[in-house]
Structure 1
Amino acid sequence: MSSPEPPLLPLLTQLCDALSGPERRRLVFLCGSLDPDHSPATTRDVLEAAVRSSEQPWDVLREVLVRLGRLDLLRSTFHCGRDEVERQRSSLPRYRVLMVELSDNMTSEDLNQFKFMLGRGVPRDRLERATCFLDVVTELEKLGHVSSERVELIETCLRDIGRVDLARRVCTVTAPEQTPPLLQRCRPIQPVTNCQQARHIQLLQSALEQTPPPRQYYRPIQPLTYSQQTRHVQPFQSGAGLEPQTLHRAQTCSNSIEHYKLNTNPRGVCVIIDCVGHDGELLKQTFQTLCFTVVLHRWLCVSECLSALRALQHSALLGQASAFVCCVISRGTELHLLATDAQCIGLNLETLREMFTPRYCPVLAGKPKLFFIQRYSVPKSQPNEWRSYQNSEDLETDGPGVGHCLVPTDADVFWSHCWTSESQLERRGHNSHYLRALTEALQAGRWHVVDLHTRVNAAVWEHNQRNPSEQYHLELKHTLTKNLYLH
């Protein structure tokens, strides 16, 4: 079918003027343009270029109207219907047609979860401006992470947000032999939550390694796998320029539905030891909101810290609780907390953790034990001048040890340790950015505790980028054997 060239421009102008903003957005994408301008004039120019470059220009125009759902314009302009157009061979790229169909079938919640799954893959400001799925895909194309031959990232994110129906349709874009082996091993996880990104992290790294994008927004991300062993990651290295690590459990479907049951009232016990006079009250209010019994100690020396912790070991409160949380804010060195003392080696961090394992506190066997440590680093002194509190009477060995045989000593522990320079305390009105990010994340809603830490991680990384002289460093270890939600 052909038509004289002069009437083409008036026709295209008439059609583009009749389209709504979202319809023009879809049209621009269908025609292969990444232009963010979707005005009628720009849309007409894009459509004209697509029509003129095709051997069947009028077939392209009619199919575009079908894909936009504007059958009224199709009938009034070409005097035909959908069936007639669909019987013809498609003139539009299959990849672009599919992306438009996915966008039409995604809810606002799906879109928000999809953007969340991208983590740090797309600059935050671009994701915030994205109002539809096509906007996100366009940004991924600009960065070189997605194309008609590379759709693994889109498929994985769709599976992780529970839209397996859409993910299966993405598989049809590329031939099976082009699908990476890792993707073939992936299985959807049900029920789906925002925290299920472990497979996405692995695929994302694989996709980035295959063809480096022209503008590198991703930094090295080490995918973490889950096991009943301690995992350790240091995402914040001063001056290293690393992106915040995304921390997850790569669990199987059969284990994904297992949760720690926080069904007691109160949910658990939270002990807070504030030895610097900052943020203790903020933590107290936060955990009280989460229905925890909170015990706040201020300005303790090391021996007083040990006495308070030993008293809590034998408290009836722990036996009645479903979880235990310990928050410590203190000056310290790499391995020890100094509390308010100046001339002692301090409380060993490993000792602090061990005190509430089943070996020394049997009532916490099988219950989640969370530690949030904010340490202000001080220079090391001569060891000979110090008095050590580690591996002494603070670990009592006369307990029944019931949990030692049934539960691994290190099981069910979540350890979050942040440190920054002691000089931060000299700033007027100082508050720990790590603890502020932690309390905000705890108050934000129902998150898996590991994903919650990912949000904290990202907030601290952004703070480091804005404030090079106020660097925070963050370490996470966890041996949680089930999903944990504090809400």
Structure 2
Amino acid sequence: MTRCQVPAFLIHQIQEELDKEEEEMMVFLCRDLAPDLANADLKEILLALNEREKLTPVGLSELLYRVKRFDLLRRILNTEKATVEAYLARSFRLIPDYRVLMVEINENLEKDEVGSLGFLLRDYAPRMKMAKDKSFLALIIDLEKLNLVAPNQLDLIENCFRSIHRIDLIRKIQTYKHKASVSSVHCQPVYVNAHQASLPNFNLIEPPYHSGIQNESTEKLQNGSSLTLAAAEPLHMSIEESGSVPHKMSDDSYRMQSQPLGICLIIDCIGNDTDVLEETFRGLGYDVHCHRYLNMSSMNQTLLEVARWQKHKNCDSFVCILVSRGNSQSIFCTDHTFSGFPLEQIKKYFTADSCPGLLGKPKLFFIQSYVVPENEQECTCLLEVDGNADNIRAKVTIPHAADIFWSHCKVDVSTLEQSPTSPSKYLRCLAELLRNPYKRKLCILAIHMELNKKVYDGNMTADPSQQYSLLLQHTLRKKLFFPLDCC
């Protein structure tokens, strides 16, 4: 075994730890390194690369980094994620940026979206085999064989993503194209990793890597061989002056850059909170639409109309705020009915199947319910609503659709009767937090924790009948930060 090779037992140990999906990703990443082994399994590919002296300990650490097995980096290769990142940012990489991009896209696609892509691709490649459970990476390999997709040939994939409204993935491809064109002009490597691919305003061109004893550190593998990595110096990324860049923006965060940031729909059937909410969300960059004192029929029509707006496609998020009398399952609007308008139905109007323009984007709901005791509710028929209304009488549960943030505050209706013009403490505290630039550095979940604290601190001095209770349910897949340069 030469000095640059990896001990075979380490390859075996790593392969044993990977699941089927991770093996598929790693095989895809290695596809250009061993084109003659296109049909081989992962262990065979890694062993062959090792024998050909193409796989070094550093290269193996990059592969584990690309499939996000940071635990194996530490436990088997005895190195840290940050150390690998420092090396990748300053040196040549084993894996081409094109392969890295495709793997990241694969990680950001839902199973039903992959099925939609397979269906769309029939128009371009009618003879391509479309297995029902085929992964995105398998589709890419098929398209590569047909010469329909290549590192410099990604228009077909862009068109397909446009058809399924994944504008965020189109931007990743466009960023990759831009970095590749810059790289060819400057004749130096440009690193676009899984996080940086979604950062169009970051200048990621780093100086060429220079090896030198004074700039190197050595990490020991468990078997005693050395893993030499560039010293973990801070990465200096300059931000272009044109355009604002949200803080902490990464592949783990939702994009929140559009202008407007999204539609904010406010339906206030009490009338005490509209003004402060409108000012707050307009300050955050939302296109705010306010409606006061709607009955259930009018609210149903308003929700349907807003859900059908095409402008959602050009926005990064959606906010809906409802203030009304109601019960635990419904809101009454200006109608005092027993059944009311089911909260679950409101949510369904804006899920991806009902509102495609919001696919993959965060949808935030803030509900203030003034709960009417059952013995004071009038019993009338349930309003008929469009769409799938199955099980609308059931209690609200965590939604099956992704990217929903559901904050529901309840307080007894007697609070209103005692102070008819007083705003909701819940909504007032929410507005205060969102208008505070220091609090906006937090993600929405952390902001809601602050909201919980403020509301429950207020409950300590309130009469038990006037105390607020909060319920938070969400299916967010990423962190959500509001812009800092607003309000």
- Do the two structures share a fold, i.e. TM-score over 0.5? no
Q: Max radius of gyration: which structure?
A: 1
How high is the TM-score relative to the length of structure 1? 0.44
